[in-house]
Structures are given as structure tokens and as C-alpha cells.
């Protein structure tokens, strides 16, 4: 029984380390894009880079596939978020950060046909704006 508990503890620690590493990697990608496009928010390359970053992450890529989302969907959602949420709070910027979180990306893709204001309010509430 002690061996089983030791193995379970080691597995939990390994899972925790990989989850934190993934979270930090996504946060770093988000902040990099925020800083890079701070003065050029309407640049179409921003959406390309967001979509590329999402596709490079295992969890976010699954959400994209589940919803059949394309770069065009991300561009439309980004435009909706830009309409009401075009401001920065520390290292959070709603039109970018919303795509790098599992729960917010899931919500955005499930409600992609909702109006811009309700989507932005939901994202702002999630990120405590």
C-alpha cells in the first residue's frame, strides 16, 4: 500500500509540474503578443499569431477541433472583443488573453454568435476587470 501511495504522489507531482509549465508557457505567449501589438492592435498578423499559439497547445487545440473553429472564427471573435474591451490591465488584455485560457476559449467558441458586449463582459468578469 505504501508503494501505491508513493507512486500516486509522484504522479501527482509530475502532473502538477507539467500543468504549471503549460500555464506559464501560455501566459508568456499571451504577454508577448500583448507587448508586441500594443501599438498595432488591428494588425491582421495578430490573429494569425493567436491562432498559431492556440494550435501549438494540446488543450486549446482540442477545443478548436471540438468546435471546428478556424482562423476566421478567431478573427471574428477578436473583432467583437476589440469593440468593447480594448484596454489593458497589467498583463491582461481581453482581446488577446481570452484565447489563451481553456475556459474562456471554450465559452467564446460556444457563444461565438452572441453580441460583442455580452462576450466582452463575460471575459472581463472572468479576468476581474
**pLDDT digits over 26-60, tens only?**
999 999 999 998 888 888 899 999 999 999 999 99
Q: Is the dihedral of CA 21, 23, 26, 30 positive or negative?
A: negative
How buried is residue 38: exposed, middle or buried, by Cβ count under 10 Å (0-12/13-18/19+)? exposed
Please report the DSSP string for 44-73 in residue order.
Answer: HHHHHHHHHHHHHSHHHHHHHHHHT--HHH
What pLDDT does residue 75 have?
94
Radius of gyration, CA atoms only, the chain: 17
Model confidence at 19: pLDDT above 80: yes
Burial code (b: 16+ CB inside 10 Å, e: under 16) for 22-34 equals eeeebeebbbebb
Give the residue-averaged pLDDT of 61-76. Answer: 94
What pLDDT does residue 61 have?
94
**pLDDT digits over 75-117, tens only?**
999 999 998 878 788 888 889 999 999 999 999 999 989 898 9
How far apart, in whole angstroms, are the C-alpha atoms of residue 100 and residue 124?
14
Give the residue-averaged pLDDT of 114-123. Answer: 90
Amino acid at each position: 500500500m505504501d508503494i501505491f501511495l508513493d507512486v500516486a504522489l509522484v504522479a501527482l507531482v509530475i502532473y502538477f509540474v507539467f500543468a504549471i509549465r503549460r500555464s506559464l508557457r501560455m501566459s508568456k505567449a499571451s504577454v508577448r503578443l500583448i507587448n508586441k501589438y500594443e501599438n498595432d492592435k488591428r494588425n491582421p498578423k495578430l490573429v494569425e499569431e493567436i491562432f498559431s499559439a492556440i494550435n501549438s497547445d494540446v488543450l486549446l487545440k482540442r477545443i478548436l477541433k471540438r468546435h471546428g473553429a478556424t482562423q476566421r472564427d478567431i478573427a471574428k471573435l477578436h473583432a467583437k472583443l476589440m469593440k468593447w474591451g480594448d484596454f489593458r490591465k497589467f498583463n491582461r488584455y481581453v482581446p488577446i488573453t481570452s484565447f489563451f485560457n481553456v475556459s474562456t476559449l471554450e465559452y467564446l467558441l460556444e457563444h461565438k454568435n452572441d453580441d460583442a458586449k455580452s462576450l466582452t463582459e463575460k471575459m472581463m468578469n472572468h479576468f476581474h476587470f
